Amino acid sequence: MVADASNRTSPLISLLAGGTAGGVEAFCTYPFEFAKTRVQLYGHGGVRNPFRVVGNVIKQEGLPALYKGCSTMIVGSIGKDAVRFVAFDGIRKVFEDPETHTLSPAQSIAAGMATGVVASTAVVTPTERLKTALIDDARTARRFRSPWHCVASLAREHGVRRALYAGYVTTTLKQIGTTGFRLGSYSILKDWERRSPWFRDPGEGRRRRHVVDVDGPVMSFANGALAGTVTTLATQPFDTVKTKVQQARAVGGTLDAARAIVAEDGVFRGFWRGTVMRLGRTVMAGGILFTTNEQAVKVLRLMLGQ
C-alpha cells in the first residue's frame, strides 16, 4: 500500500483494514484454493479446470467437503494480511525517498520480501500447515473433527514444531517471493500512476489530464490482479513443494517432497502443478485484497476521524 506524506495510514488502520481485506479475500476465493491444493496432492486425473475439480468434489464428497479447512484459512488470512500491511507500511518507510515518499522498483520488492519473512513466521506457516492437513484428511482418513483436533493430533504424532511449522522453509521462500512480487509490484504500479500525467490523484485536490482515479476501486482491482498474476507464475514451485510437505501423511522434508514431485510429473509439470487453479485464485485475490483494503482504509479514517 502506498501513502503520500500528508496522508499517512496509522498502524491501527493498517491492521484493521488489512485484516478485513484478508478475511474477505479468503472467503471469496477459497474454492480455488481448495481445488489447487487437491490437484497438487492428487493430480485429479490431469484435470486443470478449477470449476471441474470443484464440481467433482461436490458430486463425490458433498458441498461441506469443499470448505474443509476454510475457517482456518480465513483466520490465518486475517492475521496474515493484517501483519503484511502493517509490516509493509513500516518497512517501506525505511526504504523510501524522504522527499517524494516513493520507492524504486528494487526497493519496493525488497520491502515486500522482508514483509514476507515476518508474515510467514508469525502467521502463514502454521495456518497453511493446518489448512493443507485438513484438506488432505478430508480426502483420506477423515479423522480430524476440527482445526483444534487437527493441531492436537499432529502435535501428539510429530511434536509441536512439526505440527505447526512443517514446510517452514518452503512457505517462507514462497512468502518472500509472493509478498515481494505482490506488494512490491503493486507499490511500483501505484508510485508510477501517481507520477503519471494520465491519472488523477484525489489527494492533490486537482484533476490531472484525464481519466482514472488512482485510489478508486477499478484501479485498485486492476493493479491487484496484475500483481497477483506476476506473483503466481514466479512462486508456483515453492507453493507446490510446500503443499506436498504439509499434507496430513508425512512425506519427509523439503528435498524428499521435491524428489517425489519430479518423479511423479517431471520438473515443469510437477513444480507448476496447480498453476491454473492458483492463477484463478490469485488474480481474483489480488484484486479483492487491495480493493477491500483501500476501501476499508477510507471507511476507517472517516470512523476514527483521521
pLDDT tens-digit series, residues 199-209: 655 555 554 44
What pTM value is reported for the model? 0.56
2 in a structural domain: no
For the chain, percent of residues with pLDDT exceeding 90: 0
At 101, list the grid cell. 515518499
Residue 3 in domain: no
Domain-located, residue 279: yes
Whether residue 237 lies inside any domain: the answer is yes
pLDDT for 202 = 52
> Per DSSP, which regions of 226-297 are E strands?
none
- In this prediction, residue 50 carries a pLDDT of 66
What CA–CA distance (Å, rounded) separates 245 from 168?
Answer: 9
In a domain, 247, yes or no: yes
pLDDT in tens, 92-111: 888 887 777 777 778 878 88
List the domain range (segments joined by +) for residue 300: 8-304
Q: Considering the domain boundaries, does residue 1 fall inside one?
A: no
139-192 residue pLDDT tens: 777 888 888 898 899 899 888 888 888 888 888 888 887 777 777 777 777 777
Secondary structure of residue 60 in the 3-state scheme: helix
For residue 177, what is the domain's CATH number? Answer: 1.50.40.10
Tell me how many degrees the CA angle 178-179-182 measures, rounded to the nearest 5: 80
Say if residues 239 and 197 touch (Cβ distance below 8 Å).
no
Structure confidence by residue, pLDDT tens digits, 256-289: 888 888 888 888 888 887 777 777 777 777 778 8
Distance CA 251, CA 214 (A): 47
What is d(CA 21, CA 77) in angstroms, rounded to the nearest whole number?
Answer: 9
236 falls within a domain: yes
> For residue 190, which amino acid is it?
K
Number of domains observed in the structure of the chain: 1
pLDDT in tens, 34-77: 877 777 777 656 666 667 778 888 888 888 877 777 887 788 77
Would you say residue 111 lies in a domain? Answer: yes
